[in-house]
């Protein structure tokens, strides 16, 4: 079976940031056989160009490709380095200096309830400067790895990855519902 939309995919890889000026590439992360990257393809879980590079591969196929920063996490933007009022980091009226310090990654939430991570850049008297850029923004990414498995997802896998249902927007994909929402057409 080949990787295409709506397939469960398991891969191992090493992710490198290519070397500058003839040096060695820097290993940034690895997905191992004991802890592989598992994802449902074609549903927006992964970087689109990462998935495009894997499309058509089968279990046992090896891969090596580089994504430009534009196709990965984009360029760094100084607009994504912002100052926030220090008081939003208080717990029971006391500033959380055990968590909020330069270099630490902290979870934040937008006013719409969206969760994301930020790196604390500086703690000032009245503000905390955070960097909302992805840590790999501005970097080209070199992936070297192998496809471990490709298979049709089970309903349990779909529920685990999509939060219930089949990903088509319905809440329950029983046989009757599949025909109504088009899930049975695949």
* pLDDT tens by residue, 127-162: 999 999 998 999 999 999 999 999 999 989 888 877
20, 111: one domain: no
Q: What's CA 85's distance to the chain center, in Å?
A: 28
Q: What is the pLDDT of residue 113?
A: 86
The residue ranges of DSSP E strands in the chain, in sequence order, are 8-17, 26-31, 37-40, 62-67, 81-85, 90-91, 94-95, 105-109, 115-123, 127-131, 141-151
**Is position 3 within any domain?**
no
**Is position 2 within any domain?**
no
67, 145: one domain: yes
The CATH number covering residue 60 comes to 3.10.50.40
| Tally of domains within the chain | 3
Task: State the residue range of the domain holding 123.
Answer: 78-131
State the pTM of this model: 0.73
**Is position 179 within any domain?**
yes
What is the DSSP code (8-state) at residue 38? E
55, 147: one domain: yes
69, 143: one domain: yes
**Stretch 92-96: mean pLDDT:** 92
**Is position 20 within any domain?**
yes
Q: Report the alpha-carbon distance of residue 57 to residue 21 in Å, rounded.
A: 33
**Is position 112 within any domain?**
yes
**Is position 89 within any domain?**
yes
Angle, vertex CA 15, rays to CA 9 and CA 16, nearest 5 = 160
Candidate from 39-53, 63-77, 151-165 with smallest mean pLDDT: 151-165
Average pLDDT of the chain is 87
Q: Report the alpha-carbon distance of residue 36 to residue 56 in Å, rounded.
A: 19
99, 17: one domain: no
The 8 Å CB, 24+ separation contacts for 46-53 are 47/71, 47/72, 47/73, 50/143, 51/3, 53/143
**Stretch 88-115: mean pLDDT:** 90
Q: Report the alpha-carbon distance of residue 8 to residue 153 in Å, rounded.
A: 5
Ramachandran region, residue 56 (left: φ > 0; alpha: ψ -120 to 50; beta: rest): left
**Is position 1 within any domain?**
no
């Amino acid at each position: 079976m080949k990787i295409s939309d709506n397939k469960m995919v398991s891969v191992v890889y090493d992710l490198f940031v290519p070397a500058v000026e003839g040096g060695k590439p820097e290993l940034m992360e690895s997905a191992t056989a004991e802890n592989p990257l598992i994802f449902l393809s074609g549903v927006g879980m992964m970087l689109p160009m990462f998935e495009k590079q894997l499309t058509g591969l089968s279990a046992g196929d090896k891969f090596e490709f580089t994504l430009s920063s534009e196709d990965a996490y984009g360029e760094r933007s100084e607009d994504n380095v912002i100052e926030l009022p220090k008081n939003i980091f208080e717990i029971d009226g006391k500033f959380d200096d055990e968590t909020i310090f330069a270099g630490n990654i902290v979870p934040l939430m937008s006013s719409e309830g969206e969760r994301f991570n930020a790196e604390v850049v500086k703690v000032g008297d009245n503000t905390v400067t955070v960097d909302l850029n992805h840590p790999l923004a501005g970097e080209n990414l070199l992936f070297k790895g192998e496809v471990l498995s490709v298979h049709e997802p089970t309903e349990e896998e779909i529920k685990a990855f999509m939060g219930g249902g089949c990903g088509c927007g319905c809440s329950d994909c029983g046989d009757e519902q599949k025909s109504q929402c088009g899930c049975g057409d695949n």
